[in-house]
Amino acid sequence: MIQIATATGSHKIYAPVFASFAQLATREKQIDDSALERVAQLIETLREKVQEAYNAFAEADAEAVQAFNDQKERLENNLARLEAQRARLEREVDELSQCIGTQSAIAQTAANKLHRNQQLWDQAKGLCYTFDQEYNYATQTRRQELQLVAELEALVERRFAQVEDENAQRRVDIQDATGF
């Protein structure tokens, strides 16, 4: 039951039953009928709450299925409408294909704009690449600096330990020499 309570996140529902079981466990041989009835009532209440939760879940699931079916029907209607629009648009495309002369001028203008935009795009990509390279270089440099600082810290700590060891040895030598 603990695993189920943990998995479902329903500790509050199971807590009274767990508490009753714990009380029964501490009583050992002194279990009376009222305690057992209390546990039975708590288990029945738990069963009812679980049944209510299941019923709510089943109802929510049925509503979700109905919502799905409603959405499916709307989508199928939209697809049919879009198919009709596609057929109408295909007819319009056939009619508009007769205007190729005018469209050629527009296409040439668009091609010029595309070429200009492509050049701007390429320049922007080049700048982004340069900025990216600079960022990576600066990041690598910072990492190397941090590594150097870490190495320097380690050297200083080792030297500090040596100095402490030397001072301790001097104190011992002085004590040995002076007898204090």
Helices 11-27/33-96 angle, 10° precision: 160
The residue extents of the domains of the chain are 32-178
Contact between 17 and 42 (Cβ < 8 Å): yes
Extract the tokens encoding 97.
């294909």
The DSSP code for 98 is: G
Check if the beta carbon of residue 1 is closer than 8 Å to that of residue 18. Answer: yes
Confidence at 5, pLDDT banded by 50, 70, 90: low
pLDDT of residue 31: 67
Average pLDDT over residues 146-156: 95
d(CA 65, CA 58): 10
Average pLDDT for the chain = 85
CA distance 149 to 37: 71
pTM assigned to the model: 0.34
Continuous H helices in the chain: 2-8, 11-27, 33-96, 100-178
**Is the dihedral angle over the CA atoms 167, 170, 175, 178 positive or is it negative?**
negative
Lowest mean pLDDT among 13-27, 93-107, 111-125, 159-173: 13-27
Burial 141-157 (b: 16+ CB within 10 A, else e): eeeeeeeeeeeeeeeee
Residue 9 DSSP class: T
Is residue 34 scored above 90 in pLDDT? Answer: no
pLDDT confidence of residue 144: 96
Say how far apart CA 53 and CA 145 lie, in whole Å.
60
**Between residues 29 and 82, the one the model is more confident about:** 82
